Amino acid sequence: MNNRIKIKSQISLLQFIVTVIILLGIVGGLFYFIFTQDVRAKTYSESLAIIPFILFIISTLYNNLMSKKQYLSDIYIYDNEIILTFKIRDKISKTIAIQKNNIQKFKLDAHIQLCNCGKHSKVDVDYKFFIDLIKGQDISINQLSDLTLVEGNYKFLYRIMDGAKNIPNFEINFTSNSEMIKAELDYYKRFGKKIPLFVVQFKKASIFLKIWYLLLIAAACFCMYAFFQVIRHSISPLL
């Protein structure tokens, strides 16, 4: 068995250049539209408000690319051992091999922070791996999941839950200031699949909409019941 869990990805220089070109193309097209068309002042001001956000994205990508910090990149799970791979930028800096029969507890605590930045939302994941070993020094890893092109914020936690069944004595705990994110992860943790879209929409809805949805479901069930009753009475003389 060889199961790889991708914890964090470092964007490549090519990805960074392509991203900057696309963002600059969007800004250029936006300004072309503004200065060549008759648009309202509100549209102009709203368009200018996008520029700081784009500059923030470029700055974040650049810092990610040029970062010299060591980070946990991958967890490789084999039949008898688990290997932790650390990287600086995109080069392997250190590996730690752990025998499965030496693991007393493999624990992950993750805090998912949803930050609203104006019209845009950003998710930060602060997570801690703690590996309690039967023999030897315990391992503690604290990291913050940065915004990258590859990770998609907290989605990498799904991959950890997929691979957790192959790690002995694995325990995972979530906290979040967003009940919706916590509900999504708890559902995946329990059932091994993503929460259905209608459940997400139902949880996001107001109390009035929830009552309305329940009434619609009840009405649909009643209509189905009445339809089957009509069919049953129609075919009963033929039986």
Do 188 and 232 share a structural domain? no
% pLDDT > 90, the chain: 18
Q: Let me know if residue 177 belongs to a domain.
A: yes
Structural domain span for residue 212: 205-238
Cβ within 8 Å of residue 225, ≥6 positions away: none
Do 195 and 210 share a structural domain? no
Q: What pLDDT score does 150 carry?
A: 44
DSSP-assigned letter for residue 166: T
Q: Let me know if residue 116 belongs to a domain.
A: yes
Q: Let me know if residue 62 belongs to a domain.
A: no
Do 148 and 130 share a structural domain? yes
Q: Let me know if residue 195 belongs to a domain.
A: yes
| CA angle (219 as vertex; 215, 225 as ends), nearest 5 | 145
Q: What pLDDT score does 227 carry?
A: 72
Mean pLDDT of the chain: 77
Q: Which one is predicted more confidently, 24 or 15?
A: 24
Do 159 and 105 share a structural domain? yes
Do 219 and 160 share a structural domain? no
* Cα distances (Å, whole numbers) of residue 195 to 2, 157, 159, 183: 28, 14, 15, 8
Do 147 and 168 share a structural domain? yes
Query: Helix, strand, coil shares of the chain as percentages rounded to 5?
Result: 50, 30, 20
Asked whether 169 and 100 are in contact (CB, 8 A), the reply is no
Arithmetic mean of pLDDT, 5-12? 73
Do 128 and 172 share a structural domain? yes
Q: Let me know if residue 110 belongs to a domain.
A: yes
pLDDT tens-digit map of 197-227: 666 555 655 676 667 667 777 777 877 777 7
Tokens read off for 210: 């929830």
% pLDDT > 70, the chain: 71
Do 232 and 214 share a structural domain? yes
Q: How many structural domains are present in the chain? A: 2
Indicate the pairing of strand 120-133 with strand 103-117.
antiparallel
Q: Which amino acid appears at position 74 of this protein? A: D
Confidence of residue 149 (pLDDT cuts 50, 70, 90): very low
Provide the greatest CA pair distance for the chain: 81
